[in-house]
Chain A
């Protein structure tokens, strides 16, 4: 997941938590606020009533038994009830506020009630002022709704603004990834254009990335130059000798004994040349001097290889069975190298087969995607002890029936080419029955 998405997600989650907290905490707070607000109002009203009583006298309100006043919707009421003259009670108990049901007309409703005792003209009265709880609830609900809306709107707005800001902040990083890292498989494809950013961390990241790439690139160049020099230094003398031997062999005055020695020297030189060329080929592949830019059909390459080798097959009366079901097209490959790889496998299968033997080339989709190509011969097989070293560059086997000299060069090349194509090359062998090389293409 991208950093920006992660930040936005984290942000949204924390805001959600805040909203949830609000949902839990706001109702009790709001109802307390509403209740204390109501209580305050009740107290104010009782003071107003007391003031009126003080001004107009209690008789204005209480003539007979009791005074009661309701507003029409039964949201509030005021009662003044005369109390029996209690036995010597000094002063009035303090006012109380409580919730209690009261019958108003023919309905019972819950009220918030302020009740207090007052004394006037030598008599005691109880003054009750009630406010319908339904009204209080209504107030609470309104307050709660408003608070919640505010919270949600605030959360959404801050989530959006935070995401926008994070996007703005992280833009240089995004550009760095898209422009410099994606699709860069080789230092030569790297863009050294400096990143425009005011964030120090990104600046540092970009600078050290550039520095590192410079180092990698110069190491690549050095290695390439080195290989080029080595090949020049090694192959030029070989070239001189080869031309000289060829010229000498054409000399009619050369005796037979010397001619034979020359041919032997030529063979030695040829081996030296092939060793150098093999090393250069492997080094060049490993240095990414080859491109993988073609879609290559395995069947087509195999057909080329078999065409090239059909004389050898015929000479040794070896039967070759091609069974590719289906064919496979490697999307990004180097045809020349792939040819060399398959050529080496099939040519080995001919070299180390018994006369009139059989070679099977089996191509099948891999069990976990990809493709596998197996080349099986009916040769003497290779001892298990030798198998792990088969692909080593310079390991030669001890002399013996299962010690083929020629495995020395072809297989390391095949392995290098397989690696270059992100493929695996494995070997299985059973002494006396044959050997199978399997190429696991991605």
Chain B
């Protein structure tokens, strides 16, 4: 996957780039409006990650310009720290595929990119297998084991799905909590809801097969090993 990262803030640019490279993306960089405009015109990308406040112009204009070009197939994800509410609406109206307000979690960015890819290539049923014979159906939102449904609550499913999407990565309680609760502003970051969810997940899964693939990384978080 070929990604153009348009972000003028050098440190942030470097962090996002590093993350994407580690996640096996091919990353191209642009720091200014002109640079980005040229690269979008010349190369073909799968994704353009677009910051709105760029030196030399507004990211929204870049999006507008790109969308006028019919051959343009890149998916645009807007990344911005501008507080304005209409930016989101405007961006999506102009044809952006998604919108992530800064600060965002890199894992969240990766999940969104995966979701867009699935949409784009019409992968309706995205199934994953894990543990000893478990199957996850992301569209039907079900977990099965040997043809039998594993009954999970909505949040338990989301948690498991997120861990599976980022297999072999340690996810902190904060990252998991942020994914589950989204935009709701909570300030009890020490809440143990995640721990309780994991405990319940293990209990429910182990009624079908051993659930030792969910690992606790002490003091940090959880991960699923494959």
Asked if A231 contacts B15 (CB within 8 A), the reply is no
How many residue pairs at the A-B interface have CB separations less than 8 Å?
131
Asked if A246 contacts B175 (CB within 8 A), the reply is yes
Q: Say yes or no for B115: interface residue by CB 8 A criterion.
A: no
In the complex where A240-B11, A405-B188 touch, is A232 in contact with B53 (Cβ < 8 A)?
A: yes
Asked if A315 contacts B219 (CB within 8 A), the reply is no
In-complex Cβ contact of A406 among B11, B154, B184, B187 (8 A): B187
Q: Say yes or no for A153: interface residue by CB 8 A criterion.
A: no
Interface 1/0s, chain A 241-285, versus B by CB < 8 A? 011101101100000100110010011001101110110110110
Q: Which residues of chain B in 143-196 are interfacial with respect to chain A, using CB atoms and an 8 Å cutoff?
A: 153-156, 169-170, 172, 174-175, 184-190, 193, 196
Q: Say yes or no for B203: interface residue by CB 8 A criterion.
A: no
CB distance from A118 to the nearest CB of B (A): 110
Inter-chain contacts of B172 with A (CB < 8 A)? 249, 263, 266
User: Which residue of the partner chain B has the closest CB to A315?
Assistant: B196
List the one stretch of A71-79, A130-138, A305-313, A381-389 in contact with chain B: A305-313
Asked if B15 contacts A270 (CB within 8 A), the reply is no
Q: Say yes or no for B209: interface residue by CB 8 A criterion.
A: no
Q: Which residues of chain B in 78-103 are interfacial with respect to chain A, using CB atoms and an 8 Å cutoff?
A: 81-85, 101-103
In-complex Cβ contact of A310 among B153, B184, B196, B221 (8 A): B153
Asked if B221 contacts A263 (CB within 8 A), the reply is yes
Q: Say yes or no for A379: interface residue by CB 8 A criterion.
A: no
Asked if A224 contacts B84 (CB within 8 A), the reply is yes
Q: Say yes or no for A340: interface residue by CB 8 A criterion.
A: yes
Asked if B9 contacts A312 (CB within 8 A), the reply is no
Q: Say yes or no for A208: interface residue by CB 8 A criterion.
A: no
Q: Say yes or no for B107: interface residue by CB 8 A criterion.
A: yes
A228–B58 CA distance with the chains assembled, in angstroms: 14
A283–B83 CA distance with the chains assembled, in angstroms: 10
Q: Which residues of chain B in 39-69 are interfacial with respect to chain A, using CB atoms and an 8 Å cutoff?
A: 53
Is the contact region of chain A dominated by helix, strand, or loop, or is it mixed?
helix
A259–B218 CA distance with the chains assembled, in angstroms: 10
A273–B105 CA distance with the chains assembled, in angstroms: 12
Q: Say yes or no for B106: interface residue by CB 8 A criterion.
A: yes
Asked if A267 contacts B12 (CB within 8 A), the reply is no
Asked if B12 contacts A274 (CB within 8 A), the reply is no
Interface 1/0s, chain B 196-215, versus A by CB < 8 A? 11000000000000000000
Q: Say yes or no for B30: interface residue by CB 8 A criterion.
A: no
Asked if A239 contacts B102 (CB within 8 A), the reply is yes
Inter-chain contacts of B185 with A (CB < 8 A)? 274, 277-278, 281, 340, 409-410, 413
In-complex Cβ contact of B83 among A238, A273, A284, A347 (8 A): A284
List the one stretch of B16-24, B120-128, B130-138 in contact with chain A: B16-24
A340–B185 CA distance with the chains assembled, in angstroms: 9
Q: Say yes or no for B104: interface residue by CB 8 A criterion.
A: yes
Inter-chain contacts of B190 with A (CB < 8 A)? 267
Q: Say yes or no for A119: interface residue by CB 8 A criterion.
A: no
CB distance from B109 to the nearest CB of A (A): 9
Asked if B220 contacts A259 (CB within 8 A), the reply is yes
Asked if B81 contacts A311 (CB within 8 A), the reply is no
Inter-chain contacts of A408 with B (CB < 8 A)? 187
Inter-chain contacts of A315 with B (CB < 8 A)? 193, 196-197
Inter-chain contacts of A312 with B (CB < 8 A)? 193
Asked if A232 contacts B220 (CB within 8 A), the reply is no
Inter-chain contacts of A227 with B (CB < 8 A)? 83
User: Which residue of the partner chain A has the closest CB to B191?
Assistant: A351
A238–B103 CA distance with the chains assembled, in angstroms: 6
A227–B81 CA distance with the chains assembled, in angstroms: 11
Inter-chain contacts of B53 with A (CB < 8 A)? 232
Asked if A232 contacts B82 (CB within 8 A), the reply is yes
A406–B172 CA distance with the chains assembled, in angstroms: 21
Asked if A240 contacts B18 (CB within 8 A), the reply is no
In-complex Cβ contact of A289 among B85, B169, B175 (8 A): B85
CB distance from A40 to the nearest CB of B (A): 91
Asked if B219 contacts A260 (CB within 8 A), the reply is yes
In the complex where A247-B15, A247-B106, A260-B219 touch, is A236 in contact with B187 (Cβ < 8 A)?
A: no
Asked if A243 contacts B19 (CB within 8 A), the reply is yes
22 contacts between A and B (CB under 8 A): A228-B82, A232-B82, A236-B12, A236-B102, A239-B102, A240-B9, A243-B103, A246-B19, A247-B15, A247-B106, A250-B170, A259-B219, A263-B172, A267-B174, A273-B103, A290-B85, A308-B184, A311-B155, A315-B193, A406-B187, A409-B187, A410-B187
Which residues on B are within 8 Å of A, measured CB to CB? 9, 11-12, 15-16, 18-19, 22, 53, 81-85, 101-107, 153-156, 169-170, 172, 174-175, 184-190, 193, 196-197, 217-221
Which residues on A are within 8 Å of B, measured CB to CB? 224, 227-228, 230-232, 234-236, 238-240, 242-244, 246-247, 249-250, 256, 259-260, 263, 266-267, 270-271, 273-275, 277-278, 280-281, 283-284, 289-290, 307-308, 310-312, 314-315, 340, 343, 347, 351, 405-406, 408-410, 413
